[in-house]
């Protein structure tokens, strides 16, 4: 990965000849001309190939979600009632993220901030960390008065991410994979970082269980590249098994 002051990722038009190709030793489905992978007006990723989702991975996602559904519904009900009790407004929060191949999609979260709270502060915080190559420390840990009562607990425990199981059921995400970034973050990625967009984003991943608060964007991208290269049913299960302890230690999150 290039340093933050180095050359930024190249964007080429969809019909540009000789685009760069990424290869991970698996079958790919290249983006079709009818649905180019856009990251901005008239631009597309530099020929990023998409890794075909293995059947075992989709089957694992659906099986685990269905098996855990009775417990998850109870937890979701309790969290929803708490949000309603401490803060007027909607229970769910919707946010645009960048998914597989650079396509935008809407993720769902339990609302942990007051209604109409500004989000540009968080975006600038992330951009500042990426530019300076500092550890990716969440703004929550530095104090955030936009949070509702109990909001910090929802975030640190990962409970606010629970509604993203809807994204998993819809096939927009997987239980395990690189975390989907914000559109503003995408502007700061380089060519060598685009491998993380070759697969479905996940609720948790290799970087999260490795102690994400201790690593910068370079460490995150290296972990994402290692996951895309080495993913297997066993690796997914190990990541899922280690996620709760990483959350409890405060070194990772869903």
Residue 202, pLDDT > 90, answer yes
Domain ranges for the chain, please list them. Answer: 38-249
- Which pair of tokens denotes residue 180? 């989907």
Helix (H, G, I), strand (E, B) or coil at 170: coil
Residue 17, pLDDT > 80, answer no
Please state the pTM of the whole predicted model: 0.73
Helix (H, G, I), strand (E, B) or coil at 44: strand
d(CA 199, CA 176): 10
- The pLDDT, as a whole number, for residue 133 is 60
Work out the pLDDT band at 18, boundaries 50, 70, 90.
very low
Most confident of 40-44, 78-82, 244-248: 78-82
Q: What average pLDDT does this structure show over 46-55?
A: 74
Work out the pLDDT band at 36, boundaries 50, 70, 90.
very low
Total residue length of the chain: 254
Q: Are the C-beta atoms of residues 61 and 82 closer than 8 Å to each other?
A: no
Work out the pLDDT band at 20, boundaries 50, 70, 90.
very low
User: Residue 241 belongs to what H/E stretch?
Assistant: helix 233-249
User: Residue 208 belongs to what H/E stretch?
Assistant: helix 206-209
**Tens-place pLDDT, residues 225-244:** 899 888 899 999 999 999 98
Q: What average pLDDT does this structure show over 42-52?
A: 58
- Which pair of tokens denotes residue 250? 């405060």
Question: Among residues of the chain, what percentage have pLDDT more than 70?
Answer: 67
Residue 74, pLDDT > 90, answer yes
Q: Are the C-beta atoms of residues 147 and 197 closer than 8 Å to each other?
A: no
Q: What DSSP state is assigned to residue 236?
A: H
Average pLDDT, the chain: 75
Q: What average pLDDT does this structure show over 80-93?
A: 95
- The pLDDT, as a whole number, for residue 182 is 87
Residue 47, pLDDT > 90, answer no
Neighbours of 193 (CB within 10 A): 22
- Which pair of tokens denotes residue 20? 């760069």
């Amino acid at each position: 990965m290039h340093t933050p002051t180095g050359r930024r990722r190249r964007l080429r038009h969809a019909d540009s000849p000789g685009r760069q190709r990424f290869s991970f030793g698996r079958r790919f489905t290249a983006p079709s001309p009818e649905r180019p992978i856009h990251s901005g007006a008239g631009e597309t990723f530099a020929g990023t190939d998409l890794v075909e989702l293995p059947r075992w991975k989709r089957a694992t996602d659906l099986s685990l979600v269905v098996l855990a559904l009775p417990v998850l519904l109870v937890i979701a009900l309790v969290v929803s009632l708490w949000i309603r009790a401490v803060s007027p407004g909607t229970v769910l929060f919707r946010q645009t993220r960048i998914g597989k191949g650079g396509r935008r999609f809407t993720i769902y979260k339990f609302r942990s901030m007051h209604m109409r709270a500004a989000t540009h502060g968080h975006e600038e915080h992330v951009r500042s960390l990426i530019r300076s190559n500092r550890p990716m420390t969440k703004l929550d840990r530095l104090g955030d008065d936009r949070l509702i009562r109990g909001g910090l607990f929802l975030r640190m425990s990962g409970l606010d991410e629970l509604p993203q199981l809807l994204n998993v059921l819809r096939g927009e995400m997987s239980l395990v994979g690189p975390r989907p970034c914000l559109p503003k973050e995408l502007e700061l990625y380089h060519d060598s970082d685009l491998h993380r967009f070759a697969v479905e984003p996940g609720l948790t991943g290799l970087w999260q269980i490795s102690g994400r608060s201790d690593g910068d964007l370079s460490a995150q991208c290296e972990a994402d590249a290692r996951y895309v290269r080495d993913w297997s049913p066993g690796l997914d299960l190990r990541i899922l098994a280690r996620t709760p302890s990483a959350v409890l230690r405060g070194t990772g999150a869903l």
